[in-house]
Structure 1
């Protein structure tokens, strides 16, 4: 078992922000009791941690999207743009047949796109992306380094 190293930060917020955080905490706690009948209460610290996590997620996504944009602008590609549609589909417990029905993409074409054997058109990409609930692009796209073999003279 490993012990996670933690760092403690102390923050100061203005009175207005503090009041808004407390209103959100109260709202979430009332909603949680009403909807789920749970005793776990949300704290101001939970809200602040969630906000920081979301900010860091967006920051890291921006870096990843910039690398993908750099790939698209670079004609000498050492990487191939791939998608994680199939992983997202499985996480959402959606069948290929459901996606095919919702998008109108043929069964064989959809299968090839989900296996990353075929790059979808922009139209088909957007159809699939929309049916999957518009997950963040950084979760859907990634770059895979190409395997290039150099043939050596004998």
Structure 2
């Protein structure tokens, strides 16, 4: 069996999800501040479990095309996720996405995790172009995309080409 992926930044560990992460995901995805950016109610325990199970299955695929990693502080509890997802393993275009527990906002974690993941994606996965989808009302997501070097190509869609 293949070793789980672990990437390290100065403060964070980005790692493949484990099935026991579903309670932490449920906790942050149920917070009102998080839900402001989605047109859905808080997930049920079963929905959070199914979400984490899907991310675990993605990590087990061979060859692998989707890298949606848990963001942890010093290897502790999951505080969010960021990832790059290709449609197929050989693709050079991927979608980028990031979400974070509202209790962890405004500490630079999303930027730190995302910068590291994007650099790794360009250098290791052969990604040449990324796109991110944001809601126009989610100003924090737009600021994050712009801080990462993404450029707006249409309302809600941002793109980044390999430097």
Structure 1 and Structure 2 fold alike (TM over 0.5): no
Q: Give the TM-score category using the shorter length.
A: under 0.3
Greater percentage in helix:
1
TM-score (norm 1): 0.28
Greater percentage in strand:
2
